Amino acid sequence: MAIELERDPSPERLQALGVYDWPIWTKEASVFPWHYDGDELCYLLEGEVVVTPEGGEPVLIQAGDLVRFPAGMSCTWEIRRAVRKHYHFPE
């Protein structure tokens, strides 16, 4: 169960996914556990976070990154700089 990270996706890729129509989520610097019941796609507009899956290696996510979190993954979020992201739960 791995986090998929795409650094600096092209504007065409973001447009094709409809990223700018997705809702926005914000969160201040903090540390908290999280569990994904379903897949989530997100695109970081601002901030920096380290997400560490249970039993896995930490993944650094920064502004400009497109990320897919898999369904069933439990992890810890360490938000180092306040996050502002678009997010989407594909069906």
User: 4-88 has which fold?
Assistant: Jelly Rolls (2.60.120)
Angstrom distance (rounded) from CA 28 to CA 34: 15
DSSP for 15-30? Answer: HHHTGGGS-EEEE-SE
Quick: pLDDT tens for 39-88: 999 999 999 999 999 999 999 999 999 999 999 999 999 999 999 999 99
DSSP for the chain? Answer: ---EEEES--HHHHHHHTGGGS-EEEE-SEEEEEE-SS-EEEEEEEEEEEEEETTS--EEEETTEEEEEPTT-EEEEEEEEEEEEEEE---
Residue 1 has a pLDDT of 76
Please check the confidence at residue 91 and state whether its pLDDT lies above 80: no
Residue 62 has a pLDDT of 98
Tell me the pTM.
Answer: 0.94
